[in-house]
Structure 1
């Protein structure tokens, strides 16, 4: 049996409060050499009807549309009409997700420099084995991520990233 060297430690912590969820990832380099990584907190949110949701707070942020492979700036609130997969430069201020009568404030640490917004749409949803064919209608991912630039960690160095969801 071969032994594998452990070169990092990761801890995921959840904090729950009244109307609040905070997800925090802590990473420590336990090796003797520098290494680099990326991270994303895959936050799948239940919504009443994705086509009626509106995500505010990304206006003016640089974005990459992964479906069409196009770069640009976000104009107006994010709305979903079909397959949606975009990586935004993370906003400094919290975002607000409006879903009918429900609103959610979404914040993230500066160490997670991107925000990924994803919904598979009807066609892709029908091909995903872990999602009902119409499952795309009741979900939206708003992920805090660090994917455009690698995070370098020297030996014994620590990194932390978090996302906080607050019911309004």
Structure 2
């Protein structure tokens, strides 16, 4: 559940590498929503988890598919400590988008925002461009990002629309060619066909007292490329969002 490195924890926390249980009797979606197909997953700490992060929690992840192909992820994290201790964590969904060519992609919705640049010593800058395009490695956290972000793929004539709630930041990442050559799980040319745009809570860690619960939500949809940033609520002629690796693995939390 953690973004970045903290103490003895691995870089992206331990939740992404654990076996989750399926809730056989989950609460239904509200009647007002069109979503009917979903599964609820539950993660609770094991004895080994408590050795590396000594807090009791319950992490529920709802994965839902809308009638038009929208993918919805809803995360709930509850502090179940019985000793009165609060805990803090950061969080990111690791959404890897499949794109035609990274040089043909632009991002709209992050213009004029402040960001932390991990390639420049975690210094803080302000985005200057009208839209974000890619010509080299990028590893940034945009702060106070809007609820809706567009990932526009010109060659595929397709736009991914990312909607988020409870996750104020947005991570942007592509390793580019040099770093890719040193990554065992990346082919040398695969950086050209992927992009991470990750809803996150990084700058300000989330703190929960015992009994308190945090909720975060992400919705992904794909629309024809006539969509643009000025139309963040187009008519829903949605296609199923294509992602390279499951966003499920991206729930990274720990103190």
* Shared fold, TM over 0.5: yes
What is the CA deviation profile of residues 70-103 of structure 1, one whole-angstrom value per residue up to 9, with x for unaligned ones? 4221122111111111110142341111102111
Question: How far apart in 1 are the matches of 2:162 and 2:79?
Answer: 28
Question: How far apart in 1 are the matches of 2:133 and 2:71?
Answer: 24
Higher strand share: 1
Match of 1:137, SS state, is helix
Larger relative CO (CA 8 A, sep 6+): 1 or 2?
1
Q: Which runs of 5+ in 1 are unaligned?
A: none
Report what 1:105 is aligned to.
161
Match of 1:51, SS state, is helix
- Tell me if 1:154 matches 2:215: no
Match of 1:146, SS state, is strand
- Tell me if 1:66 matches 2:118: yes
Q: Using the TM superposition, name which of 64-73 and 8-17 deviates more.
A: 64-73
Conservation of the 8 A alpha-carbon contact between 2:110 and 2:146: no
Deviation at 1:38, TM superposition (A): 0.8
Q: Normalization by structure 1: what TM-score?
A: 0.92
Question: How far apart in 2 are the matches of 1:58 and 1:49?
Answer: 20
Question: How far apart in 1 are the matches of 2:70 and 2:126?
Answer: 30
Match of 1:27 among 57, 67, 77: 77
Report what 1:43 is aligned to.
95
Question: How far apart in 2 are the matches of 1:55 and 1:82?
Answer: 15
Structure number with larger C-alpha Rg: 2
Report what 1:131 is aligned to.
186
What is the CA deviation profile of residues 94-135 of structure 1, one whole-angstrom value per residue up to 9, with x for unaligned ones? 1111102111111111x2111000000001111111111111
Structure 1's consecutive aligned runs of 4 or more residues displaced over 4 angstroms after TM superposition are 2-6
Q: Normalization by structure 2: what TM-score?
A: 0.62
Alignment RMSD (CA, Å): 1.7
Match of 2:196, SS state, is strand
What is the CA deviation profile of residues 127-168 of structure 1, one whole-angstrom value per residue up to 9, with x for unaligned ones? 111111111001000001111111110101110111111111
What is the CA deviation profile of residues 10-40 of structure 1, one whole-angstrom value per residue up to 9, with x for unaligned ones? 1222111223111221101010321111111
Q: Which runs of 5+ in 2 are unaligned?
A: 1-45, 224-255
Conservation of the 8 A alpha-carbon contact between 2:116 and 2:140: yes
**Aligned residue pair count:** 166
Question: How far apart in 2 are the matches of 1:15 and 1:90?
Answer: 26
Question: How far apart in 1 are the matches of 2:172 and 2:106?
Answer: 12
Report what 1:16 is aligned to.
65
